Structure formats: C-alpha cells, structure tokens
Structure 1
C-alpha cells in the first residue's frame, strides 16, 4: 500500500506548494499487534510534520522501507524507532517521554514476537540491558552507601576512643557508655567491611554480565544486518552482502556490518572472512576485517585462536603481523600477559619479533607490571640481536 496523492495548494502567484500526502488505510489482514504498532508509528510520523521523503532521509532509510514500516508490513529496528521518537519530540518542541518510548517498544515487540523471532531477540536483549543497567546502578549506590556508613562508624569509634583517653575523672557510667559506643562501632565496622567486600564482588559480576550481554547483542546485530541485507549468514553470504553494500555506495552500512561480524562471530570465522575477501580482490574490506579483529576483539580471544593454529600457518602469521602493526598498546600488553599466563612462549616470541621488525614501540609509561615486562623483553631481544651483528 502506498500514500494517496493529495492536490497542491495554488497561491496567487500560480505556484503550487505540495501538501504532505496522507497514508493509505491499513490492510485489514494485519494482526492486531501489527496494526497497533503501525498506528503508533503513523502517529509519530504525523508529529514530525515531515513528508515521507524528508522523514526517510532524516531516519537514514529509503522511502520504500519507511512505507513498509508505516503500513505494518515491517517493524523497524530499535535504533530507527528510537530515532523516529526523538525526531517527533524535537519537531514538536517537547522532551522524549520515557513511558511512551517503553510503550512503543512493547508494541513493536508484540508485532514481531511471533513472526520474526530474530528481530524479537533484539527487543529481548534491549529489555535485559535495561534491567541489568538498573541492577548495576543499584549495586553502585549500595556500595557507596555502605562505604559512607563505614566512614561514619570509623569516625564514631575514633570519637569514642578519643573521649575515653580524655576522660580523667569520669564516672563508671560514663566510661561504660563510651566503651559500649566504641565496641558497637567496632562490631558494625566488621559487618560493614564484609558487606562492602560482597557488594564489590556483586558489582564486578554485574560488569561481567554486561560484557557477556554486549557480546550476545553484537552477535545478534550481525545476524540482523545479514538478514536485512538478505544474506545467508554463512561465509559466502557475508562476503556477498559486504560486496553488495560497498558496490551500492552504502559504505556506512558495509562498515557497520564488518564491525558487527568482527565483534559477533568466532575469530576463526572472521579470519576466514578476511581471507575470502582477499581472494576476491576486495583488499580494502579484507584489511578492515583484519584491523577490526585486532583492535576490537579481546586479546584473549585472539590468543585462544592463535594457540590452536600451526606455527607455520599463513593465517597465524598474518594475524600476528597485523596485531604487532595496528593493535592498541593495551591489547598488545594483555596479549603478552595471556601468553605468559598460559606458558605459550612461542606465540609470545613471535609477537615480540613482529613488533621489533616493524619498530613498534609501546610509547607508554611503565605504569604496570605487564607493560614493563613486555618492554623489558623487547629491549632484551634488541640487545641480543645487536650482539650478533658484526
């Protein structure tokens, strides 16, 4: 279904000013959740006061996709819906209503839950993120409250001890009261210190939960990007999608897909993707994949994959070279730490050799043990090579 063409308004000078076209009625075959979602999106569109062309441009989608959203045939990604909601508030001169935003997300989730489980997963992860952020904020506040109470109790204990020392001719009752005050503060301090240790542990666990959820979200984003681009999800489908987007002058979409694949897929698949793109003479895309891998992935992920590769493997050699060339210093240090922790001296040596061959310096202050350790190893390797030269 498309939009109905309305007449233009003629002014005295004879020029016609186009009137924003209305939307065709919704298809009666839409389910109730699809209808309610489309009606909500249409209402937001009306608030913007923009034409479909203008709105599509502001949202970063083509007009055909926008039409499908407004006619209930597709449900937009969360980021697009959020953009539309903010745009509607901006055009109306109001603030974004969080309650309304939550209601819109619920309508969109209801519309995709049955017919599109992949897209529904995006909404479920977003809800999990909100809940996790809420619990994390609570944990931070709880830890701050406990630390403040511990500070107060320590002061209370110190005040009682100071008063006892200054009490020269006090009665037994005064001494008893101050002693009880000091002992009660000491008991509470012990309790608080234990509670703070537990609260700190819970906060660290929340942080790890957030990291895990981020990884799951990135993998889901990658699959959604492939689905939206009609990719198959396998290596050939990913390559075809990247090439299609690049050749269609959709560079931002291609770059975003590469980043999502790098972050969401196993390292071995990402390495294979870089190799496949290189064999297709898509050198720019291949380099982007390799650089993204060493810059964005956790060093421990790279270490685990490299540890399982034969030392003569070309893919192993290429990744170590890329790691030595472009990885952030922090990633190099953490990779070195992983090598030492797991006793993989060969991998550690190959990384240091690659760094030295390319004159890669850490260029950072020796502010921690592992940075200093890696720097010392590089200096020792340089000194050993210098001794061998005639």
Structure 2
C-alpha cells in the first residue's frame, strides 16, 4: 500500500518478507525514488505492468518480469540522467532471480525460463540483423558479378588480341571466379542463418509454452495449498525430500491408511521436482518393489508434468531406455492432458525419434473420440491411426458405433467394415447406415 506524501505517495513499511524478497523490494523502491515519479506514472511508461501490480512489487507481494527492469533502467536515463548500463540492469535482474528462488522451485523455474527467453530474444535479434547484412552482401556481390560479366562481354566483342587486352581478360576472369566463389559462400551462410533464425523462433515458442505450463502449475499449487491449508514453504519442504525418504514416507502413509495424503505427496513430487529427481524416484519405487505406488506416481507425472519433462523422464529411464520406459510413454500418450500429448508428438516428430513417436501415437489413438479427432486435425495422428482409434473405442463400447461412424464421415475419415472386422454386429450396422443414405 502507498500513503500520500505530497504529490507522490509514501510506501508502507515492508513486513513478512524473506530476506531476498525484501532486498529486491528495497531496490525497486530506490529506483522509484531516483525517478521521482508516482507508481501510476511509472506504470504508464512501462510495457506489460499496471500500476496496481507495480505497487504490489514495491510492497514485496509480487515480482515483475525481467524485461521490466531493463525498461526501468532506460527510464532512469531519460528522467534522472543516469546513463543506461547493461551491468546495472543485469545486477537488478540478479536480485529479482534471488527473490524468485526464495519463493520456491516453481517460481524459480518460471524466472529462469523468462531469463532464458530474454537471452534468446537478444540472440534472435542479432541473428536477424546478421541475416539482413548477409543478404545485403550477397546482393552487392551479385551486382559486382554482373558488372564483371558485362565488362567481359564488351571486351570479347571488341576481339582485342593485344597484350593489354589479354591481360584485362585474365584479370576480369579472375574477378568473375572470385565473385562466383564469394556468392556461393554467402548463399550458404544465408541458408544457415535462415535455418538458425527459424530454430530460435521455434525455441522461443517452446519456452513460452513451458512458462505458461509453469504458471498453471504455480496457480494449481496455490489453489491446492489454500484448500488443504498447506503453506507454500511446507509444500516446498515436502517436495525436496530425497527419493529414499519419499518412498519411506509413502510407505508409512499407506500403512496408516492415509492413502489420500500419500497420493497428494506423490502429486507434489510430480509437479515440483525436475526430470532427474522424478526418474530417480521411479527407480527407487522399482528397487523397493512398490509397483502400485510406481504405477500411481507415473499416472500423476503424466497428468501434471509438461511434455518436455515427460519425454526427459522416459529418456532417463531405469538406467537405460527399455520396455518400461516405452510403456511410460504409452501411458502419457493415453492419459496426459490433450495439449501435452500434442506437444509430445510434435517434439518427437521434430527430433526424428520415430520409435518413441510410434509408441505415443498408438496410445493416443485410443483416447476419446473427440481427442482422436483433435489429434488428427492437428496433424499429430495420420488417417490410419485415427480410423483405427475410432473403431477401437467403438468396439470397447466407449462410444456408440453410430456416433463414431457419423463423426468419422463428417471429418472425412470414412470407416470401412475392415476396421470392425472383429465385430459382426458393427459391420452390419455400418452397412445399414450406408444403405439408409
């Protein structure tokens, strides 16, 4: 909260903050004092933050995005005459990241990803500028080659056989060869730089997805903590247990018939821990013969983790990529949230991991009718897998045959009797529907 003090408002004392949070809030307040502006006036000059959010940041109740700090330092140059310094902006971000880490691993992850995205954006801009320069150099070299070709043509038309003419011919020929070589080199550099720019744009999209998923996880944890009365610090403490301690804690909760608490502990681990920790816990459950807990844990991982984490956990596996890890991928293809399943298939396809893509796709084809159609429409399932999936859900009575056939035909995924060959009744229904039309 801000209190009136003349034109500007005096800020209320900082209370209830961790040391790193307080340090960053004081740093923000010092910048505000240097600017000599109200929070509303500062917010008007910044992109992506409102006055109310800025006030919360000044009170230590919220944290701004890293890009806001760069804008603040540029505003200091404009309003207070303090020259912009990249190092000063980096020092401010370091204080921000320390405050973020003090709020728990998820918030730290969010800001680490934001920092990576900001660095990637700087690289992307540099790559785009380099591409512009290379294209300009290529164009200039092509003009140079054209000028040399014209000069050669005029010299040959003159049919000059004098010694001076032969010397000019040799020089122009050498210039033409050099221009051709340089053009080839530049064309290769342009192609590689274009590919690099596309990869950086793809990486940026991946990072944006990861940030969004992390924020969803933070909100979910906050909601769950509020509902269960579990403080953020307690949740973080639970999530930092060693794998052997987690196994022991789960065993104790099961023996005490506190299955809900055991499942909540596993959900927190699946949400908060990184891929290496999750893989280690899978191995611990397996070595302790806790198969049911391993099965529950894997279901919670695919239900709560992002696509890249799931794929990394499968890769880390049980000391080598084996049958259990392929089954884990199939579990994810079948039970992960649809957007996560789509991203998994997209990443596997882009990385050329054909065998793993096949496993996830075959499992994803067994999802609900709506999911199968969505996967096909986004290009993540081919027509054959989509048809097979629709037929399978029908034969397992998870949807009516008439509904599946109608949906398939509306989406131009016509189902033939071949897909129902194991069920004579479904084949008869399909033929009856065709005759009625």
- For 2:93, which of 108, 128, 131 is the aligned residue? 108
**2:2 aligns to what?**
3
- For 1:192, which of 183, 186, 200 is the aligned residue? 183
Inter-partner Cα distance in structure 2 for 1:311 and 1:230: 29
Segments of 5+ residues of structure 2 without an aligned counterpart are 102-107, 223-234, 240-263, 272-303, 312-328, 392-403, 417-429
User: What secondary structure, in the 3-state scheme, does the structure 2 residue paired with 1:4 have?
Assistant: strand
Inter-partner Cα distance in structure 2 for 1:206 and 1:74: 34
The offset of 1:134, in angstroms, is 3.1
The offset of 1:210, in angstroms, is 3.7
**1:178 aligns to what?**
169
The offset of 1:22, in angstroms, is 2.5
**2:58 aligns to what?**
70
Q: Deviations over 1:226-252 (max 9, x none)?
A: 3355447999679x9xxxxxxxxxxxx
The offset of 1:123, in angstroms, is 4.5
The offset of 1:70, in angstroms, is 0.7
Inter-partner Cα distance in structure 1 for 2:153 and 2:220: 73
The offset of 1:184, in angstroms, is 1.9
The offset of 1:108, in angstroms, is 3.5
User: What secondary structure, in the 3-state scheme, does the structure 2 residue paired with 1:320 have?
Assistant: helix
Residue 184 (structure 2) pairs with residue 133 (structure 1): no
Q: Deviations over 1:197-236 (max 9, x none)?
A: 1441243134224423431342134224433554479996
Q: Deviations over 1:76-132 (max 9, x none)?
A: 2347x479969x98xxx99xx995899556413323236614354144213422332
Inter-partner Cα distance in structure 1 for 2:333 and 2:372: 14
Q: Taking structure 1 as reference, are residues 224 and 291 closer, same or farther at Cα in structure 2, changes over 3 Å only? A: closer
Is the contact made by 1:85 and 1:101 (CA closer than 8 Å) also made in structure 2? no
User: What secondary structure, in the 3-state scheme, does the structure 1 residue paired with 2:92 have?
Assistant: helix
The offset of 1:335, in angstroms, is 5.4
- For 1:272, which of 324, 335, 346 is the aligned residue? 335
Q: Taking structure 1 as reference, are residues 138 and 222 closer, same or farther at Cα in structure 2, changes over 3 Å only? A: same
Q: Taking structure 1 as reference, are residues 179 and 351 closer, same or farther at Cα in structure 2, changes over 3 Å only? A: farther
Question: 5 Å matches for 1:317-336?
Answer: 318-324=370-376, 327=377, 331-332=378-379, 336=382
Inter-partner Cα distance in structure 2 for 1:59 and 1:188: 52
Q: Taking structure 1 as reference, are residues 298 and 228 closer, same or farther at Cα in structure 2, changes over 3 Å only? A: same
Inter-partner Cα distance in structure 2 for 1:68 and 1:138: 38
Q: Taking structure 1 as reference, are residues 127 and 309 closer, same or farther at Cα in structure 2, changes over 3 Å only? A: closer
The offset of 1:159, in angstroms, is 1.0
Is the contact made by 1:263 and 1:296 (CA closer than 8 Å) also made in structure 2? yes
- For 1:148, which of 139, 145, 149 is the aligned residue? 139
The offset of 1:161, in angstroms, is 2.8
Q: Deviations over 1:266-293 (max 9, x none)?
A: 587586354xxxxxxxxxxxxxxx4796
Is the contact made by 2:120 and 2:200 (CA closer than 8 Å) also made in structure 1? no
Inter-partner Cα distance in structure 2 for 1:20 and 1:38: 13
User: What secondary structure, in the 3-state scheme, does the structure 1 residue paired with 2:115 have?
Assistant: helix
Question: 5 Å matches for 1:371-382?
Answer: none
Inter-partner Cα distance in structure 1 for 2:387 and 2:173: 58
**1:222 aligns to what?**
213
TM-score after normalising by structure 2: 0.50
Segments of 5+ residues of structure 1 without an aligned counterpart are 8-18, 241-259, 275-289, 337-344, 362-377
Q: Taking structure 1 as reference, are residues 25 and 265 closer, same or farther at Cα in structure 2, changes over 3 Å only? A: same
Is the contact made by 1:294 and 1:323 (CA closer than 8 Å) also made in structure 2? yes
**1:308 aligns to what?**
360
The offset of 1:146, in angstroms, is 3.5
- For 2:156, which of 165, 172, 175 is the aligned residue? 165
Question: 5 Å matches for 1:9-158?
Answer: 21-25=9-13, 32-40=23-31, 46-47=37-38, 49=40, 59=49, 66-72=54-60, 74-78=62-66, 81=68, 99=84, 106-113=91-98, 116=101, 117-158=108-149
Q: Taking structure 1 as reference, are residues 185 and 358 closer, same or farther at Cα in structure 2, changes over 3 Å only? A: same
Inter-partner Cα distance in structure 1 for 2:42 and 2:72: 16
Is the contact made by 1:78 and 1:123 (CA closer than 8 Å) also made in structure 2? yes
TM-score after normalising by structure 1: 0.55
User: What secondary structure, in the 3-state scheme, does the structure 1 residue paired with 2:37 have?
Assistant: helix
